[in-house]
Amino acid sequence: MKKVLIVLFSMLLFFLLLWGGIKLNFFLYEKQAEEIIAKVIEYQGASIENSEILVDLYDYKNGCWYQKIVFKDDPEIAYQYEYTRSEDQVRIFTMYNNISLDLANKKAKYPVYDIYFYGNKIIEEGVIEL
């Protein structure tokens, strides 16, 4: 009986440590994504204070942190930021009423980039032409 309790306690401890590690990793990913996306917004010439975050979550399907933001001075356009930690990259997409800007014949106020980081510094950008 004592051996069974030790095994059960060990398994419980293992799963609690595993769960805690996963939660800590997720929390650190979220903080890093928020900081990196804020840098990208600043790099675009926009202001995070001038925005409203509509969606802020981990996208399990694409394996990235996802934020959907609308800026008060460009309210018709939704800017979608995807931060992938493994590639240290932020991809930016823009939509007008869930339609791509080229189909809606609209222009975004802020530029759309694929931005790569090394550490916390931007090392490369790729402007996406619409």
84-107 residue pLDDT tens:
988 888 999 999 988 888 888 888
Q: CB–CB of 78/70 below 8 Å?
A: yes
Lowest mean pLDDT among 20-29, 67-76, 98-107, 119-128: 119-128
Lowest mean pLDDT among 27-31, 76-80, 121-125: 121-125
Q: CB–CB of 14/34 below 8 Å?
A: no
Burial class (CB in 10 A: 0-12, 13-18, 19+), 46: buried
The Cα 124–Cα 130 span in angstroms is 19
* pLDDT score, position 18: 93
* pLDDT band per the 50, 70, 90 thresholds, residue 130: very low
| Tally of structural domains, the chain | 1
* pLDDT score, position 129: 46
* pLDDT band per the 50, 70, 90 thresholds, residue 83: very high
Print the domain residue range for 66.
Answer: 2-127
Residue 124 has pLDDT above 80, yes or no: no
User: Which position has the token pair 């600043």?
Assistant: 42
pLDDT tens, position by position, 24-68: 988 999 999 999 999 999 998 898 888 999 999 999 898 899 999
Averaged pLDDT, 3-14: 90
* pLDDT score, position 2: 86
Q: DSSP readout, 50-71?
A: GEEEEEEEEETTTTEEEEEEEE
Cβ of 88: how many Cβ atoms within 10 Å?
A: 16
Handedness of CA 22, 38, 102, 99 (dihedral sign): positive
pTM of the full structure: 0.81
